Amino acid sequence: MVKGNKYGTHRVIEPKGTLPQPALKISNDMSIFDNEILINVEYLNIDSASFTQLKEEAGGDVEKIKSKILEIVQERGKMQNPVTGSGGMLIGKVEKIGTDLQDKIDLHIGDRIASLVSLSLTPLKIEKILDINPDIDRVEIEGKAILFESGIYAKLPGDVEATLALAALDVAGAPAQVKNLVKEGNNVLILGATGKSGLMCSYMAKKMVGNGGKVIGQARNEARAEFLRETEFCHEVIVADVLNPINILEETLKANGGREVDITINCLSIPNSELSSILPVRDNGIVYFFSMATSFTKAALGAEGIGKDVMMIIGNGYTKNHAQITLDLLRESGTLRRIFKEKYTK
């Protein structure tokens, strides 16, 4: 075998010189280099923004979704939605470890792991799609994938079911970033608070703001709002349209005593919510875009257009110890674990 580039540039076919994530096509030849890991893949968890787009394009037809996924992987060598640019993550068993890594990593043949790098940069070959669960963005496959030397992963713990861990680790960057960003006494607005990342962010934010702060969760309708109230993850719940920034602003002000919030966390899976995130935040506040449907252009020019001096942060799927932080939330909160088990382990 031969040693490849640590970041996987040796796999890039087009355009040469780029890294695997922005590349249009990478090699999914499953013969590994000395510093790669071969994974026998069981499940893909497609990024929420990506799966939403695929589902809409296919009109909800599962067979059409299957065909589109196979087409993307065939063309690109990886699962990267050409519309959203995003991917997801996988669960599988270690099949082979390159000779250069065998004494450097705490992994063994047969270990079950979850990848913590995006499918949008992961060489993937799908032999067969066994099942798709469109309610939870999960695809069961027969196939293989490769992790680069720089690729991060988490060994699946014995006390958390694999599919439950997959659902949680798919959004692990969000609650970990919230832990870093939210301070005691902050007022926080969470858009998309009833979704997977939204629930985790709500729970984490409430822990961080303490008795002097407030977490306001947004839901798209009254049924979702009632579900969110029952979790008690938010101090206040608003029903508002994320595609109507003024509606979001007005409902937020009502819930927060007429004041703008310190931080907005965007956990949505649909585009065009940038200004709904920015408008309710005070000057010098923070907007955290975890949504992969975010447009940098719309956010930057939109903030300029409404005269908002806010710090805008693009959600990084990787934060130190994010896997441990996220799995610990499931261990800590019986409510969170029950919801994830009911909703995401079908």
Residue 213 has pLDDT above 80, yes or no: yes
Residue 94 in domain: yes
Residue 67 in domain: yes
Q: Are residues 240 and 285 in the same domain?
A: yes
> What secondary structure does DSSP assign to 103-153, as a single string?
TTSS--TT-EEEE-S-TTSS-EEEEEEEEEETTTTEEEEEEEEEE-TT--E
Q: Are residues 321 and 189 in the same domain?
A: yes
Sheet holding 88-97, edge to edge: 124-133, 138-147, 37-46, 88-97, 112-115, 153-155
Q: Are residues 271 and 331 in the same domain?
A: yes
What gap in Å lies between CA 56 and CA 39, rounded to an integer? 30
Strands 236-239 and 261-266, sheet pairing: unpaired
User: Tell me: the pLDDT tens digits for 17-63?
Assistant: 999 999 999 999 999 999 999 999 999 999 888 999 999 999 999 99
Q: Are residues 139 and 229 in the same domain?
A: no
Q: Are residues 223 and 340 in the same domain?
A: yes
Residue 164 in domain: no
Residue 303 has pLDDT above 70, yes or no: yes
The maximal CA–CA distance of the chain, rounded, in angstroms, is: 64
Assess whether the previous peptide bond of 123 is cis (omega < 30° from 0): no
The domain containing residue 299 runs over which residues? 173-344
Q: Residue 180: phi, psi to the nearest 5?
A: -75, -35
The CATH number linked to 239 is 3.40.50.720
User: Tell me: the pLDDT tens digits for 21-33?
Assistant: 999 999 999 999 9
Q: Are residues 139 and 199 in the same domain?
A: no
pTM, 2 dp: 0.83
Residue 128 in domain: yes
Domain total in the chain:
2
Q: Are residues 201 and 250 in the same domain?
A: yes
